[in-house]
């Protein structure tokens, strides 16, 4: 019961988290290509950090060169990060109200379209506001609720790091599988770079600069990705035998990484839970061995009346499997209850796939067969005469 409970409960939590992340990724720029100096693929693959640091920083000239391609519909520039290592964390205030520290990101006027984020109130930045470094801001849904719970935030003034910004819009609410995906603020990327310097390490500058590219109508994501790679390799003057000194990321690559990650977690979970199952199996074997000893006369009577070894073996195996499957069913109910409780009280997304139930029942039956076999063989080998004489 304990082993199956852990399998079902953790599978519910992992499945719910994975499903919510997948939904959010598909909603946010599912058809976009992200061009970065170094993305999560480079870091997760174990590349040397100093090698990544020496890569050239991306610039607005790179974005303009990519935007000039006929395969590209629109290009967004993002300075900063939504909660990653290069995130600029700030506290937003308005009057006597303040938020916790949250990410500030600089973007272009194309941000809502390239990232598929709806504007619930007001508008987004105009191109002239980006070009002229205006101090305007668009608030995430949570930020607007915190600062202006009973007022219209459009046109209000907020302060970030001692500077005043005018609120021109509020984003719509987004799903939040991990943390609060609605706790952020965007400003024009030119304003962001005027206020915040690049990150410096050992004499190298790391400019948190991402170029988000959307394909033109009728153009595949793969073709746009190949076009961006061609343009950037030419701009960085790389030879054919030299690797690219930039990263291209798509929603598909993130989803693939997520699937591999969750598969590894589930496998580790099954291995860990098998320890509890093995301990439970040893307990079942001990109980069934005691049962054989206590029911020696019963076995002798059955054999004297014509029961064959196979029938005695099957009888005790069925009993062992029944015991373990009963524990497995209780574990499924308990695990599902834990997942439901976490969803209700903590708001964490959960999923209860049927395969996790089948896995729990299958493990339970396998434990019953494996650990019930020895007592069943012992019972089937009893001599009927000696069994009848047993006191």
pLDDT on residue 130: 92
Q: Which residues does 371 contact at the CB level (< 8 Å), separation at least 6?
A: 281, 282, 284, 285, 288, 320, 324
Domain termination site, one of 212, 245, 278: 245
State whether 207 and 135 are in the same domain: yes
> Average pLDDT in the 275-296 region?
79
pLDDT confidence bin for 107, thresholds 50/70/90: very high
State whether 60 and 178 are in the same domain: yes
Whether 372 is covered by a domain: the verdict is yes
State whether 341 and 305 are in the same domain: yes
- pLDDT of residue 25 exceeding 80: no
For residues 198 and 118, which has the higher predicted lDDT (pLDDT)? 118
State whether 231 and 341 are in the same domain: no
Whether 288 is covered by a domain: the verdict is yes
The top-scoring range by mean pLDDT among 60-69, 276-285, 310-319 is 60-69
pLDDT on residue 347: 67
State whether 221 and 117 are in the same domain: yes
Q: Which residues does 365 contact at the CB level (< 8 Å), separation at least 6?
A: 321, 324, 325, 328
Percentage of the chain with pLDDT > 70?
A: 90
State whether 277 and 236 are in the same domain: no
For residues 299 and 46, which has the higher predicted lDDT (pLDDT)? 299
Whether 213 is covered by a domain: the verdict is yes
Lowest average pLDDT, out of 100-114, 228-242, 304-318, goes to: 304-318
pLDDT on residue 314: 85
For 361, the domain range is 2-10+257-389
Whether 16 is covered by a domain: the verdict is no
State whether 82 and 166 are in the same domain: yes
Whether 216 is covered by a domain: the verdict is yes
pLDDT on residue 181: 77
State whether 60 and 168 are in the same domain: yes
Whether 15 is covered by a domain: the verdict is no
Residues 166-191: pLDDT tens digits? 999 999 887 665 567 788 999 999 99
Both structure tokens of 241: 């035998």
Task: Give the integer Cα–Cα distance in Å for 236 and 211.
Answer: 16
State whether 60 and 130 are in the same domain: yes
Residues 51-70: pLDDT tens digits? 777 888 888 899 999 999 99
Domain termination site, one of 219, 245, 271: 245
pLDDT confidence bin for 137, thresholds 50/70/90: very high
- pLDDT of residue 123 exceeding 90: yes
Please give the tally of structural domains in the chain.
2
Domain termination site, one of 192, 222, 245: 245
State whether 371 and 331 are in the same domain: yes
In this structure, the number of other CB atoms found within 10 A of the CB of residue 82 comes to 18
Scanning 137-220, the segments in alpha helix (DSSP H) are 141-147, 189-195
The top-scoring range by mean pLDDT among 116-130, 170-184, 290-304, 374-388 is 116-130
pLDDT confidence bin for 220, thresholds 50/70/90: confident
State whether 283 and 364 are in the same domain: yes
Task: Give the integer Cα–Cα distance in Å for 298 and 374.
Answer: 18
Whether 305 is covered by a domain: the verdict is yes
Whether 285 is covered by a domain: the verdict is yes
Query: For the chain, what is the mean pLDDT?
Result: 82
State whether 284 and 227 are in the same domain: no
pLDDT on residue 311: 85
pLDDT on residue 132: 92
């Amino acid at each position: 019961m304990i082993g199956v409970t852990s399998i079902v409960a953790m599978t519910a939590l992992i499945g719910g988290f994975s499903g919510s992340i997948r939904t959010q990724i598909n909603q946010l720029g599912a058809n976009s290509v992200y061009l970065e100096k170094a993305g999560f693929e480079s870091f997760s693959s174990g590349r040397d950090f100093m090698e990544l640091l020496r890569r050239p920083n991306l610039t607005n000239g790179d974005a303009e060169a990519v935007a000039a391609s006929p395969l590209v519909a629109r290009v967004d520039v993002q300075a900063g990060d939504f909660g990653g290592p290069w995130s600029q964390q700030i506290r937003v205030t308005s009057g006597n109200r303040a938020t916790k520290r949250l990410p500030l990101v600089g973007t272009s006027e194309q941000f809502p379209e390239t990232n598929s984020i709806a504007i619930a109130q007001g508008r987004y930045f105009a191109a002239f506001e980006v070009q002229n470094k205006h101090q305007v801001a668009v608030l995430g849904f949570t930020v607007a609720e915190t600062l202006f719970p009973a007022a219209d935030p459009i046109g209000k003034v907020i302060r970030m790091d001692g500077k005043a910004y005018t609120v021109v819009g509020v984003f719509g609410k987004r799903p939040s599988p991990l943390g609060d995906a609605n706790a952020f603020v965007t400003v024009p990327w030119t304003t962001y770079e005027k206020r915040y310097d690049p990150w410096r390490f050992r004499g190298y500058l790391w400019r948190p600069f991402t170029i988000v590219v959307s394909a033109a109508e009728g153009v595949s994501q793969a073709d746009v990705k190949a076009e961006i790679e061609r343009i950037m390799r030419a701009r960085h003057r790389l030879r054919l035998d030299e690797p690219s000194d930039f990263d291209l990321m798509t929603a598909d690559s993130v989803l693939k990484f997520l699937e591999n990650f969750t598969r590894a977690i589930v496998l580790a979970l099954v291995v860990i839970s098998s320890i509890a199952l093995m301990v439970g199996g040893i307990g079942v074997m001990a109980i069934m061995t005691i049962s054989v000893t206590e029911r020696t006369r019963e076995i002798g009577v059955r054999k004297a009346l014509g029961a064959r070894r196979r029938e005695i073996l099957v009888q005790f195996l069925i009993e062992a499997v029944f015991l373990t499957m009963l524990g497995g069913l209780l574990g499924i109910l308990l695990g599902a209850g834990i997942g439901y409780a976490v969803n209700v009280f903590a708001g964490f997304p959960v999923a209860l796939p049927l395969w996790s139930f089948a896995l729990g029942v299958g493990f339970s039956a396998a434990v019953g067969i494996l650990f019930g076999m020895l007592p069943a063989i012992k019972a089937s080998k009893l001599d009927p005469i000696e069994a009848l004489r047993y006191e």
